[in-house]
Structure formats: C-alpha cells, structure tokens
Amino acid sequence: MKKFLYVAAVAACLALCGCQQKPETAEPPVIVLGFEGELLLDPDGGEGSFSYAVESPVEGGVLEVSAPDDEWVYDFEVVEEENKVKFDVLPNDTGASRSAVIHLVYVYGDKKVEKDFTAVQEPAASAAVPAIVLGFEGELSLEPDGGEGSFSYTIESPVEGGVLEVSAPECPWVHDFVVSEADGSVSFELYANGTGAARSGEIHLAYVYRENKVESSFTAVQQAGSTIWEGTPDIIVRDMTVQAEGGEGLSVLYYINYSWDGEVTMTYEDKDWVHDVALTEFAHEIGENDNGEVLFSLDPNTGEKREFKITLTYTYEGGKDVQDFTVIQVAGSAEEQVHREMKYAMGAYNGTDKTYVDAIHEYHVYMSNQPFEAPDEYAATSASYDVYLYAAAPEDPVTMLPPAGTYPLSGAIVPDVFSLEFRDIFGDWHLDFSDGTLTLAYDDSGNMILEIIATDYETGDIHRVTFTGEVIFTDIRE
C-alpha cells in the first residue's frame, strides 16, 4: 500500500510539471506606417509629415528617420506624443518628377528594426526646365591651323548648383574644354588640320542639375590647314626591368614618332603589387616626335620574378597604333635577377702587360644580343658587354682562348680578375660594377660557356650575363 501511494505521488508531480505553461516569448517591435504605397509630397515644397505606430514597443526605444541619399528632404523630427514625423521639403523646380527613399530605424537596447518607403514629388507648376542656348546658329567654323577656339552660351531657367559639361569624344582634335560661367563662354584647344581635307565632329553639352540634366550638341567644322602631314604615327616604347626593391615614382618613357593630332590612352593588368599607375600628357607638336611617361610604383619583391603588361593606344585622325610593353620586377635573389643572354661574341688577345713582374695576359671579349653588322633599326634593342680578363697565358697559342676558371671582379689590373663594361639600349655606358664573378668553361667542341653575375654600382641592377658558342680570338699584340 505504501509503495502504491509513493508511485502515485511521483506521477502526480510529473503531471503537474508537464502541465506548467512556458513563458510567452515577447514579439519584436514592428514599425507600421499610417499610409500605403508611396508618400506624395507637395511640388511647391514646405513641410511634410506622415503618421506611424510602433507595435510591441520596448521601454526606451527610439525612432530615427533620415533620407541619406536625397538632400531635398531634410530636418526630420519625430513627435512621439502625436505618433507623427515632420520634415522639410524643397520645391521641385527640376522640371521632372523625383523620388527619395525615407529610412526609419527603431532602436531598442542593442537591437533595432528598420523600414524604408519612397516619397515622390512631382514638378512644381511654376518650374521651368533649363535650356542650353548657343551664341551662334548652325555649325561652328574652326581655325584650320589650330590654336584656341571658343563659343558663347547662356542657360535659360538655371538651377542653383547646375553645371555645364562639354566634351567631344568623336573628335579628339578638339580638346581641353574650359567653361567660364562668369562670361558665359567655353574655350578649347584645337589641333591643326594636316589631313588635306575638311573634317567635322560633334561637340556635346550637358547641363547637369540635381538628379537631372538637359543635353544639346552641335557640329564643328575645320577646313584643311596650310601644312599637309606625311607618314604614319607610331608608338615607340620598350620593356623595363625594375629591381626587387621596387619603389615609388618609377616611369617608362614612350615616344610618338611624327605625331598627328591624336590622343594616347592606356590599359594595364591589375596587380596587387603595382600602384599609382598614371599616364602623363605628352608634349604635342604636330609632325614632331612627341614623348610622355607611364608612371607607377612597385612593392618590394621577395619571391620569384614577376611582371605586368601595359598597353598604349595612340588614336589619331584616320587610324591608331597599339603597343604593348612589360614591366619586369626581378626576383628577390640575385641569381634570378636581370638575365641577358648574349647571342654573339668575338675576342681579342692583347698579350702580356710588361709593367708587372709577373706577366699578365689580357683577353678582351665583346658580346651582344644583336649581330655586330646589324642594321640601324636593331641598335635601339641591343645590349652589349665588354669583358677584360687578366689571366695566365692561353693553353693553345693558336686559338688564344683564355684559361677556364672562376674570376672575381676587380678595378685593378692584377692576375686572375676581370673588369666589365655594359652598354644599354640607349647607348649609355655603365662602367662601375661591383661584387662580380665570371665563370668560364669549354665544352667538348671548344665552345665557350661564360656566365657573369655583377652589380651595377650606379643603378643597383644585378646583371646575369650568359653566352654559349664559338668565340674566335684575334691576335692584336703589337
């Protein structure tokens, strides 16, 4: 009997616990507007308002209202006791309907609920749409031999803050527009017309005010100038090698040979280690060789060699020229840095230097990446090295090849050293090298296998120069 009563009591307790109701979860606040759809505002501006309610409000909760993207709706005031939001509205003198997004936020504790709606304002009945009026009729005649041009204009029914923009994307020979609101004029620069025929293009105008704009255009005509151009413009630009350290304010020079009235534009690969890429305006004079610079900055390179490509486009009347070039940043280790493989070499044996007690034999090796008899057009792409090796006597008096071995760089004429001179693609000689090593060997066919690693003291460039092939030495002893 006692056991039965105990079990019954436990069952009753469990039943009571199971039947106990769970506490209700509070509903989150909800912002309810007193209208449906869009809120219509007075075209003439003034004060606007709308009603609202917050369902399931929380003590201490605050409603915030704003129109972050539209300045013509402003000064929002939340009147809690009236459940109303008041604000100011500017008159709509744009001549067109406009809308604004009104943003509401109910903040309570560390939480918030949000709601947006759209307010619409039709144009005021008195609002007049601005108009661009030119100070001439028909086409605008331009000076055939170039110079500066101008035209006058007025804006009817202007809007405060309105701006006139002028462009000529179809005719780059009209450029550098300057709008003077004070005297109602637009001035511009004009290239001479050396095409031998009249040319024309559209000048575009846009009056931009608030969220709107009105547009207009006219035709500019330029007769043939007194000078007729000949030839075709070309971009001349070469690859550039930059040291691993990188740096700011780096630049590559480009040329436009025999330029016309064109425009240079640029595209380039997007690399996260390349910054501040910019194109300078080139010094333009019709029929002359013009030049400019591509500017950039590089982060230091601690890894393998890397590169990025830049494309220059020169667009001119009747055509365009496109040239790619590459900026190469050498690797962080010296062995992987600027590598120049020489294709051609010739040698000279100078004999011994009698001023020293120990006779030192002098060898001269001249190397280039272009044939020695190459035509002039190859000169701009050539690089050459002069190597002077001071070593023991040649093993073969017929071939006069210098002894194989490893030689350090030195500025003095002493045994078993070498000196180095480098001529770059611009014809400049680099004579001050340091920290260099020359390794010389021969294969079974007698071909010379030469490798040099040396640092240009002036530029910091680390040169790795290699050559494999036959070198014929000439005896130039007196």
> What is the rounded distance in angstroms from the CA atom of residue 447 to the CA atom of residue 471?
7
279 to 169, 254, 267, 283, 332: CA distances (angstroms): 19, 10, 10, 12, 28
Q: How far is CA 179 from the centre of its chain?
A: 28
What distance in Å separates the CA atoms of residue 361 and residue 353, rounded to the nearest whole number? 7
Whether the Cβ atoms of residue 340 and residue 369 lie closer than 8 Å to each other: yes
Helix (H) / strand (E) element for 255: namely strand 247-257
- List the single range of 25-34, 180-189, 324-333 with lowest mean pLDDT: 324-333
Nearest alpha carbon to residue 299 among 242, 252, 241, 251 = 242
Spatial distance between the Cα atoms of 238 and 395, rounded to a whole number of angstroms: 43
Span 258-273, pLDDT tens digits: 666 677 889 999 999 9
- Which residues, in sequence order, are CB contacts of 250 under 8 Å at separation 6+? 240, 242, 295, 296, 297, 298
Tens digit of each residue's pLDDT (9 = 90 or more) over 60-98: 999 999 998 888 999 999 999 999 999 999 988 777 788
CA distance 336 to 387: 21
Query: What pLDDT does residue 355 have?
Result: 46
Q: Which amino acid is at 129?
A: V
User: Model pTM?
Assistant: 0.38
Distance CA 343, CA 76 (A): 78
131-222: CATH topology: Immunoglobulin-like (2.60.40)
Q: What is the residue whose two structure tokens read 């030469």?
A: 450
The answer to whether 170 and 204 have CB atoms below 8 angstroms apart is no
Q: What is the dihedral of CA 334, 340, 346, 348, to 10 degrees?
A: -30
Task: Say if residue 335's pLDDT is above 50.
Answer: no
- What's the mean per-residue pLDDT of the chain? 82
CA angle 261, 287, 171 (to 5 degrees): 10
Asked if the model's pLDDT at residue 290 lies above 70, the reply is: no
Q: Is 274 helix (H, G, I), strand (E, B) or coil?
A: strand
| pLDDT (0 to 100) of residue 427 | 66
- pLDDT score for 169: 86
Long-range pairs, 392-397, Cβ under 8 A, ≥24: 392/361, 392/416, 393/352, 393/359, 393/361, 394/349, 394/361, 394/473
Residues contacting residue 459 through CB under 8 Å, at least 6 positions apart:
430
CATH of domain 30-121: 2.60.40.10
CATH 2.60.40.10 residue ranges for the chain = 30-121, 131-222, 234-333
pLDDT (tens digit per residue) in 98-154: 899 999 999 999 999 999 999 999 888 766 788 999 999 999 999 988 889 999 999
User: What pLDDT, on a 0 to 100 scale, did the predictor assign at position 348?
Assistant: 93
DSSP 117-146: EEEEEPPPTT----EEEESS-SPEEE-TT-
Length of the chain: 478
User: How does residue 356 score in pLDDT terms, banded at 50, 70 and 90?
Assistant: very low
Percentage of residues in the chain having pLDDT higher than 70: 82
In angstroms, rounded to a whole number, what is the distance separating the alpha carbons of residues 447 and 99? 82
What's residue 112's pLDDT?
93
| Average pLDDT of the segment spanning 29-46 | 93
Q: Are 164 and 151 in contact (CB under 8 A)?
A: no
> Which residue, among 455, 256, 477, has the nearest Cα to 350 in the 3D structure?
477
H or E stretch covering 194: none
pLDDT band at 190 (very low <50, low <70, confident <90, very high): confident
Nearest to 362 by CA among 407, 331, 295: 407
7 has pLDDT over 50: no
pLDDT at 463: 84
Query: What is the reported pLDDT for 327?
Result: 86
Residue 246, CA distances (Å) to 27, 249, 295, 300, 306 in order: 60, 10, 13, 5, 12
| CA–CA separation, 433 and 91 (whole Å) | 75
- Residue range 227-242: mean pLDDT, rounded: 71
Fold designation for 234-333: Immunoglobulin-like (2.60.40)
Mean pLDDT across 248-262 = 74
